[in-house]
Chains A and B, each alone.
Chain A
Amino acid sequence: EADIYQTPRYLVIGTGKKITLECSQTMGHDKMYWYQQDPGMELHLIHYSYGVNSTEKGDLSSESTVSRIRTEHFPLTLESARPSHTSQYLCASSVSDGATEAFFGQGTRLTVV
């Protein structure tokens, strides 16, 4: 099993609330990613990081923000949740060489009501 953890697994929250989705890995990986996936649909990269203090936007525009203050931690924040943010959010990490696999957390299933 991969040592990458996401919390919470499931979250139901009201419109307008601020939320932070947590992602932590204990593998010492430099690269971390956030993907958004609707049921039965493809994965969309929304944020990634090469290492501490590095954050980049992915290919899908997202109203969320991320930070990377520590190697092992890559939280994603939504300042004001909306129903359109309802989705599954998957965090992943990999080593820096780009030639090896990425490991995924179990995901956070977010519902905004």
Chain B
Amino acid sequence: RKEVEQDPGPFNVPEGATVAFNCTYSNSASQSFFWYRQDCRKEPKLLMSVYSSGNEDGRFTAQLNRASQYISLLIRDSKLSDSATYLCVATSWGEGKLIFGQGTELSVKP
């Protein structure tokens, strides 16, 4: 079983749609969580950190459920420019490794 697992994609949605990505992690020692965005043939870049209380950044909302070891990302009013692969990341302070999920591809169509 992968340490970080994401919804298999791709997600094909029309502009303006709301889309939700899910991610589960198996290492209960994981402490910090992030969502990264990776455009085609580019390096991953941080989209947002994920906090226990949940956090929002414009159209993007991230949630963490430690009891279920589950992370989510919600994108509202999706734009064409949101098309990318979204990567869920977990890290444990002890080991210090960043473990990436396999990514979920999003394609927003006009």
Total A-B pairs in contact (CB under 8 Å)? 55
Chain A contact-residue range equals: 20 to 34
Is A102 located at the chain interface by the 8 A CB criterion? yes
A98 with B93: in contact, given A43-B44, A104-B43, A104-B44 (CB under 8 Å)?
yes
Contact B45 A94 (CB under 8 A): no
With both chains docked as a complex, state the minimum distance between the C-beta of B21 and any C-beta of chain A, in angstroms.
15
Is A90 located at the chain interface by the 8 A CB criterion? yes
Output the nearest chain B residue to A97 by Cβ-Cβ distance: B93
Contact B98 A106 (CB under 8 A): no
Contact A42 B102 (CB under 8 A): yes
Is B91 located at the chain interface by the 8 A CB criterion? yes
Q: Which residues from 57 to 107 on chain B have a C-beta closer than 8 Å to any C-beta of chain A?
A: 87, 91-93, 96-103
Q: Which residues from 64 to 107 on chain A have a C-beta closer than 8 Å to any C-beta of chain B?
A: 90, 92, 94, 96-102, 104-107
Contact A98 B92 (CB under 8 A): yes
A45 with B99: in contact, given A98-B93, A101-B49 (CB under 8 Å)?
yes
A102 with B43: in contact, given A42-B103, A43-B87, A97-B93 (CB under 8 Å)?
no
Contact A98 B43 (CB under 8 A): no
Contacts of A100 in B (CB 8 A): 32, 49
Contact B96 A31 (CB under 8 A): yes
Contact B98 A45 (CB under 8 A): yes
A5 to B9, CA, bound (A): 31
Contacts of B87 in A (CB 8 A): 43
Contact A98 B44 (CB under 8 A): no
Is B34 located at the chain interface by the 8 A CB criterion? yes
Contact B103 A102 (CB under 8 A): no
Is B46 located at the chain interface by the 8 A CB criterion? yes
Interface residues of B (CB under 8 A from A): 3, 31-32, 34, 41-46, 49, 87, 91-93, 96-103
